[in-house]
């Protein structure tokens, strides 16, 4: 049976602990089995998305976030931080969740077999 599955990836024991990884930069990259994710801190918000622009595959490091959009540093393509949509393309964003068990990145994927 076809279904969507969500997998949680543990980032830290708490949001505050994860924020300590940013040091002086407002960006942080981490590798996962599905690719490299860029975490961007803007004020009290943390955004997580794939570190490849869907336009030409350039890295998103050095991007800016303004008025609810993340702007690619290379060609200035803009993507909505909630939907990932922009310029007829889609940038994969990942929700973040804090529970009593820790701070997690959530990735939803399609499963052919309902596993």
The position carrying tokens 């993507």 is 79
Q: What whole-number distance in Å separates Cα of residue 54 and Cα of residue 3?
A: 25
Can you give the pLDDT at residue 25?
Answer: 83
The pLDDT tens digits for 10-64 are 999 999 999 999 978 899 999 999 999 999 999 889 999 999 999 999 999 999 9
pLDDT at 24: 83
Contacts of 74 (CB under 8 A, 6+ apart): 53, 55, 56, 58
Indicate the pLDDT class of residue 3, thresholds 50, 70 and 90: confident
DSSP H/E element including 25: none
Read off the pLDDT of residues 90-112 as tens digits, 9 standing for 90 and up: 999 999 999 999 999 999 887 67
Give the mean model confidence (pLDDT) for residues 58-79.
95
């Amino acid at each position: 049976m076809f279904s969507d599955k969500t997998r949680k990836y543990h980032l830290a024991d708490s949001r505050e602990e994860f924020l300590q990884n940013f040091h002086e930069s407002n960006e942080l990259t981490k590798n996962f089995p599905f690719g490299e994710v860029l975490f961007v801190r803007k004020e009290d918000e943390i955004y997580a998305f794939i570190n490849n622009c869907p336009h030409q595959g350039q890295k998103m490091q050095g991007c800016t976030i303004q008025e609810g959009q993340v702007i690619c540093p290379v060609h200035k393509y803009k993507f909505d931080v909630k939907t990932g949509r922009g310029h007829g393309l889609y940038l994969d964003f990942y929700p973040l969740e804090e529970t009593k068990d820790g701070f997690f990145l959530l990735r939803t994927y399609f499963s052919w077999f309902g596993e």
